[in-house]
Chains A and B, each alone.
Chain A
């Protein structure tokens, strides 16, 4: 149980390990997109962690990076095609950031640092922990950006949009722009550090 929660705070992939930033920031404009991205990343992470852990004794050391990349790319393609078929709107708004999960450092990072050295069971738990931490991190960025930048919280696109009175009419648009995303991440990262220190005591 402790292992699952390590991803939330102490080893949060986004804020503490600073992994997987690139594809995540771009999609954090609405909560809905952030949840979709988290789910896609989680599925890929789970698949690649399991397969790489299973093959950890078979993959020769010299070519382990290309081998991992092929495994990851295969899962990304599967998730991409599934999303296009069942969630076309979400797939449309995430755009090229779905194929870009391949180079999301969090997945290769976990393959290299964890799945290649541990049993399948432990790798599954690691994937759950990291996936959860990633989802919480990404969603909190999206929540801040959407609330201030648009004055809404989009849980699902049609009818699931909460409007925040006052903010929805005159939002601080800068949060919706790339600049806002970088600033929000900076402050959330500092907040996490502070939180980590406080909870340790």
Chain B
């Protein structure tokens, strides 16, 4: 697939949250206001781009040559956990303002299934290094986009009258569902029209 194809696929067509069900917990949990949604979105994008690149290298140069692909799940999740830790330390040391903005979201990313998800997806798709990195980056942007849209909707919902039992998470899920419905317009046919594949 071309680079443009990969970007469009993971931002719109196979949007992590709205069509693959990955990263739903932060999608519901951190979408209460726009500010934290943006913070979380950027932190996730950053970690995803790095994680897909590193897991690609691990798969290619360590797991496959040593014939220990069955350890994939264990190694990938450890890599992601330590990557998150490293990123947190680096950001804290070199860019205190950025740390102020992203700090509290960083530890949460380890358990964001989107990160492990996109790493596994790119390994399964046999992407090269550049393609893996782009897949991670665009999956992150797709996540940011979904989170941002959702937070906008939820800020409005705060002032609306919602039936008692639907308040909070349930109405968020239903709004998310309607949003996913809109995202169905971005399908494979549209993609092949754009990139001519």
Contact = CB atoms under 8 A, between A and B. Distances in A.
B23 interface: yes
Interface string B69-108: 0111110011001100000000000000000000000000
Contact of A190 (B21, B73, B165): B165
A90 B166 CA distance: 34
Given A183-B174, A186-B170, A193-B170, A77 B81 contact: no
Contacts of B25: 18-19, 21-22, 105
* Chain B binding surface, main DSSP class: helix
Contacts of B114: 22
B176 A182 contact: yes
A22 B113 contact: yes
A2 to B, nearest CB: 25
A104 B117 CA distance: 11
Interface residues of B, number: 43
Interface in A45-77: 65-66, 69-70, 73-74, 76-77
Contacts of A103: 77, 110-113, 116
Contacts of A157: none
B21 A186 contact: no
A177 B170 contact: no
Given A22-B21, A178-B19, A186 B73 contact: no
Interface of B: 18-25, 28, 70-74, 77-78, 81-82, 110-114, 116-117, 120-121, 124, 163, 165-166, 169-174, 176-178, 180-181, 184
